[in-house]
Amino acid sequence: MEANWKQLLALIWFAALILGGTLLIFGRDVLLPFFVAVLLWYFIDATATAIGNLHLAERTLPRWLCRTLSLVGIASALYAVGALAGASIADVYDAAPLYKNNIEKFSTRLSESLGIENKLDITSLLRDIDFVPYLQDLALGLANIAGVAMLVALYVIFLLIEQYSFSAKIKAIFPNQPARKKVEMLLSQMQNRLGTYIWIKTLMSLLTAVASYVVLLLVGVDYAEFWALLIFLLNYIPTIGSLLATTFPTLLALVQFDSFTPGAFVLAGCGVIQFFVGNILEPRIAGDRLNISPLVVLLSLAVWGSIWGIAGMFLAVPITVMLVIVLAHFPATRPIAILLSSEGQVDIPEPKQES
């Protein structure tokens, strides 16, 4: 009888896994904007909390004003980022003929330095590569950005409105005090952990972008502002983002100048910055607050990237953090959370009893 029960439970888990994967793939157009909106809502709430902790003339600002300032500030920053990206892409497009000539010069220099008699024809190689599917995907993605952004903004607004009734709804759903306290503790832990991750990652990405911007300015790389913005965004993707953020400006420096030295300087400078911030400074500040195995991070990047593309890679770590916290709170799924953790330990805070 017990064996049959275990088989039934395993079958239920397998069916739930298949159903969940199917829902994530085919429900991408609905779920992806919602997940992005939830993260933005967390970031707005965390920023509002930080503003509320500021003491001006020994007084704190009202909560509604903190949220308004946070929302306006983040919306303005996102608009500035979009405007800068659009202007930089247009400038790069206008400079494309110049870069084509520089690519031919670069192939000549590379052939001479490698001792190859026949010059490497990089332009012919690029012509042989079929870029049409990639350009079509890029154009389709850019065309959908405006619609997705409006949907995300709508979700965020409704989340901010619904936030005031969360407590009342939880009390109505869980009239039993111990169960309600457990749910409140779970939500609080998720909010604190995600808020900490977003804040630290944003600060570290900003520091990396500013330092890399200084390097690019010293070398004289074109469109340093655009590359700094790209570095800032890519640093939200663990490991892979850092590699891409170093590679792209290095390649531009190689085709922009008539020498390998500027490209080598960009590679060394941005690489050292990425290594110092990502492997020394960020771990010291963040500690082990995420409690996720590095191997699990790489696997989550692969899984969510295959399901939701680049956006899934940005969301991989926050989703995994929430998953570990939820799994750790239930005895049946706690072993899975332990496997996903960094050191085989998970935090299970006990709710405080009301007096």
Instruction: Give tens-digit pLDDT for 42-95.
Output: 888 878 877 877 776 667 778 778 888 888 888 888 788 777 777 776 676 666
The whole-model pTM stands at 0.74
Instruction: Give tens-digit pLDDT for 203-223.
Output: 889 999 999 999 999 998 888
Local structure of 74: helix, strand or coil: helix
At residue 164, φ and ψ (nearest 5 deg) are -70, -20
Give the pLDDT of residue 215: 93
Contact between 274 and 207 (Cβ < 8 Å): no
Instruction: Give tens-digit pLDDT for 146-190.
Output: 557 778 888 888 888 887 787 788 888 888 878 788 888 877 777
Task: Report d(CA 207, CA 204) in Å as an integer.
Answer: 5
Residue 196 has pLDDT above 90, yes or no: no
Task: Report d(CA 338, CA 292) in Å as an integer.
Answer: 9
Q: Which of 268, 290, 272, 289 is nearest to 280 (CA)?
A: 272
